Amino acid sequence: MRTARSRRGRFAPQHKPIIYKAPQVGGALINEQLPRYDLRDAYQIVVLAPVDVVYRAVLDRDFLRLPLVRAFFAIRELPARAWHRLTGAPPLPVTPRATLANLTRIGAFTLLAERPGRELVLGAVGRPWMPDYASTRISAAAFAEFEEPGYAKIAWSWIVKPLGAGQTLLVCEWRTQLTDDEARAHFQRYWTVVSRGVRLLARIGLSRIKVDCELDATRSESTS
């Protein structure tokens, strides 16, 4: 007897993520929050499920459930944990879940703007090249005007667009703006090391959302 777990593993996405090449492509909200940037990446995927199901999956998805995501952040946090042990600083808090709600409630991200059911943008300010990230909690109102030297401003956008016939286009985009040349140089070295991993995780995350939504849609159809 096949279990739901085994069926989920056999359920293959119908469309592969496609990276946007054109820098002008982007959601309305992220354009408002961070119109100028030094770095931009965006991926899209078509999901064979209604838009409300996909949006809810984006909000509720625990990205730490993915083994590669857990491994990536465990490796990324090794220098920070070593630094905390050497300096006697309190240990880094353990994030129990990595849903978007957790990232805004106990993480460094702030919800900058949202069109419920269609689009949302999270923002963070910090120095990701530092062992402890040097994150600075900032309000949504202060994010756009923040210009303190030596920092990276990051905006992370999720967009769902109905395509008709029960299909949804899901777009994940992130932008980074550096506040001065020194921060730009630090970030360039950091991004050279982690960029492939970050992009891989983005593609994996989108693919898993697609698989989960399409499997749930298939189950709903079979029970209706």
What are the extents of the domains in the chain? 4-223
Per-residue model confidence (pLDDT) at position 76: 53
Residue 99: predicted pLDDT? 72
What pTM, to 2 d.p., does this model score?
0.75
pLDDT in tens, 145-177: 999 999 999 999 999 999 988 899 999 999 999
- Could you give the angle at the alpha carbon of 169 between the alpha carbons of 163 and 173, nearest 5°? 150
- Please state which of the ranges 36-40, 93-97, 206-210 shows the lowest mean pLDDT: 93-97
Contact (Cβ atoms closer than 8 angstroms) between residue 157 and residue 172: yes
Greater model confidence, 108 or 171: 171
CA distance 122 to 120: 7
For 181-213, b/e burial (b = at least 16 CB within 10 A) is eebeebbeeebeeeeebeeebbbbbbbbbbbbb
pLDDT at 176: 95
Poorest-confidence range of 53-67, 95-109, 140-154, 187-201? 95-109
Gyration radius (Cα) of the chain, Å? 18
Share of the chain above pLDDT 90, in %: 41
